[in-house]
Chains A and B, each alone.
Chain A
Amino acid sequence: MFSNAKLNEKIAFTLLKIATGMVVAFVMVILYYIISNGYSVINLEFITSMPRNRMTEGGIFPAIMGTAYLIVGSMAVALPLGILSAIYLNEYAQSGRTTWAIEMAISNLAGTPSVVFGLFGLALFVKYLGFGPSLISASLTLALLILPVIIRASQEALLTVPKEYREASLALGVTKWETIRRVVLPAAIPGMITGAILSIGRVAGETAPILLTGAAYFLPRMPDSIYSQFMALPYHLYVLATSGTNIAQTRPLQYGTALVLLIIVLCVNIVAVSIRSHYRNKIKR
C-alpha cells in the first residue's frame, strides 16, 4: 500500500518524465522528417555550386556563405559591445534610476519581435545611414537583435564569479580594471560563450530582419563587398517554399536547405561548446 506522499511523488515523477519525453519526441520527429527528406539531395555539388535554372537545380553555396558572413559580421559587433556593456552595468554602474532604465530597456529589447528590428534596420542602416540593402545593414540589424541575449548572459556570467576572487586581487593592490581583466573575465568567459551560442542559432535562423535589410531573392554570385546584397539560408528556404518558380519540384531542395541550416547551427554549437569546456578545464585544473 502506498502512502499518500509516495503516491504523489510517483505521479509528479511520471508527469515530469512524460513532459521531457514529449520534448525529446518533438525534436526527434522534426529531425527525422528533415533528415529523411533532405539527405538525398546533399552532396558536394549541392553545397558548393550556384543555384541554376530559376533555382530549381544546382546548389545553395551563396546562401551558405551569406549566412556565414552574417554570423561573423553580427558576432563581431554584438559580442564585444555586449560584453563591454555587461561589464559596465555589473561592475561600474551605480544602482540608480539611470541603471534601472538601462536594465529595463535591455529586457524590453529582448522581447521585441524580430520584424520590428528588421524595420528599424531598414530605417536606420539601409535608408538613413545609406548602407543600402547589404551585408553590413543586415549584420548590424542582427547584432542589435542578439545584443540583449549576449548582455544578459554576460551579466549572469559575471555574477557567478565569486566575490573572494575580486577581494583577493584588490587586496594585492591591483586596480579594479586589472582585476576585472585578469581574474573576473577569465572566470566569466565560459558563461559568456554560452550566451553567444544561443545567439548564433538566432542569427543563422532569423528571416524577417534580413529580408528587410539586404537578403536577395536570387543572386547567383558571392557578395563582393560588405555593401553588397547576399543570399541567406533561412530566406532562401522561405523563397523556395513559398514563392519559388516551381514549389513542388524544388521540395527536395527545400529539405536539403533546411538540413544544411540545421547542420551549420549544430557545428557552430559544437565548436562553441568545446571552446567553453576548454576554458572551464583551463580554469578548474
Chain B
Amino acid sequence: MPENYDNGTEVEVRDLNLWYGENHALHDISIDIPKNSVTALIGPSGCGKSTFLRCLNRMNDLVKNCRIEGKVHIDKQNIYSKDVDVVDLRKRVGMVFQKPNPFPMSIHDNIAYGPRIHGTGKKNIRGVVEEALRSGALWDEVSERLDKSALDLSGGQQQRLCIARTLAVRPEVILFDEPCSALDPISTSKIEELILELKKKYTIVIVTHNMQQAARISDYTGFFLTGELVEFDKTEQIFESPREKATEDYITGRFG
C-alpha cells in the first residue's frame, strides 16, 4: 500500500468489518484514500465495493440488520464515533448514485434544495445555483430553462445535475457509485472529464464496473473480491504489474 500521498490522506479506514445480518460482507478493510485525487474501486458484482462506499457516508445506517465494526476517519474524525452527527457527515461526504435520481422539481429547485435547507438565504441562492451548475458542466445547457422540470433532461444531463446538486452543498469528499452505468458513451466521457476537473477541489472515490474507466480517470485503484480488499495501489501499478494473481486475472478479463 502506498504510504505517503503528495496531498495528504483524506479518508483513513482501519479493520472495517460489516455484516448484513449473518452475512459477513466486508472483511478487515484497511485503506488510506488520498486527498484531491480520484480513487477507483473495482471488482466483480457482489464483491462489496458499493457496500464499502456506502460506509463512508454511513448510508448503510439505513439498512436493517447492518452491523459495522472498525474505524473510518475522515479528516481525522472517526465518523462512527457516537458524537458524530450523521446529517452533518453527509454534508461533508456527498454521493452520486448509479441511476440519475433528480427530484421531481425544476432544475433550479433541485440544486437549491440542499443549500436552502442548510440555510442559504433567498438573496444568495441564485448565485449558489449558477456556481454549482457551472462546476457540474451543465450551466450552458440549462441556463435558459432553470424553471423547467429536471425530469425532462437527458440521462447524462440528469446525472450531471445530480453531481451539481451534490456540489451545491460544498462537500469535501464525493462518492460516485457506478455513475455511468446507465449512460451512453458520450455522456460517460462528459462525466469522466468532469470528475477529472473536480479532483482539483474534492476527494473523489468512484466505484466502477468499467476497468477502462478506472484506468482512464483514477490515480489509485483498489481491487475488491468477496468482501476483501485484495490490492490497493497506484492505478498504473494495478493495471501494469499487479502484485496479486487475482487482480491480474480480473483485469485481464479471466473472470468478472
Contact = CB atoms under 8 A, between A and B. Distances in A.
A169 B57 CA distance: 13
Nearest to A170: B90
A183 B114 contact: no
Interface size class of A (residues with CB under 8 A): 20 to 34
Contact of B89 (A173, A178, A283): A173
B226 interface: no
A172 B104 contact: no
A168 interface: yes
A32 to B, nearest CB: 42
A168 B94 CA distance: 10
Given A167-B59, A284-B149, A285-B149, A174 B117 contact: yes
Contacts of A170: 59, 62, 90
B165 A172 contact: yes
Given A178-B117, A284-B149, A187 B104 contact: yes
A173 B169 contact: yes
Contacts of B162: 168
Interface centre among A165, A173, A187 (most CB of B within 10 A): A173
A174 B114 contact: yes
Nearest to B57: A171
A170 B169 CA distance: 12
Contacts of A169: 103, 113
B95 interface: yes
B99 A164 contact: yes
Contacts of B105: 283
B151 interface: yes
B250 interface: no
Interface centre among A174, A175, A183 (most CB of B within 10 A): A174
A165 B62 contact: no
A185 B228 CA distance: 40
Contact of B101 (A168, A173, A283): A168
Contacts of A164: 97, 99, 101
B104 A171 contact: no
Given A164-B99, A165-B101, A167-B97, A172 B152 contact: no
Contact of B117 (A162, A168, A182): A182
Interface centre among A168, A170, A171 (most CB of B within 10 A): A171
B59 A173 contact: no
A45 to B, nearest CB: 49
A172 B169 contact: yes
B114 to A, nearest CB: 4
Nearest to A176: B87
A182 B99 contact: no
B95 A175 contact: no
B184 interface: no
A170 B91 CA distance: 9
Contacts of B118: 173
A173 B115 CA distance: 10
A173 B97 contact: no
B104 A284 contact: yes
B252 to A, nearest CB: 35
Contact of A172 (B62, B90, B151): B90
Given A182-B117, A187-B104, A283-B104, A171 B149 contact: no
Given A168-B97, A284-B149, A173 B87 contact: yes
Contacts of A284: 104, 149, 151
B162 to A, nearest CB: 7
A186 B113 CA distance: 14
B240 interface: no
A171 B89 contact: no
B90 A173 contact: yes
B22 interface: no
A172 B103 contact: no
Contacts of A183: 103
Contact of B94 (A171, A182, A285): A171
Interface of A: 162, 164-165, 167-175, 178, 182-183, 186-187, 283-285
16 contacts: A162-B101, A164-B99, A168-B165, A171-B166, A172-B94, A172-B166, A173-B92, A173-B169, A174-B113, A174-B117, A178-B117, A182-B113, A186-B104, A284-B151, A285-B151, A285-B152
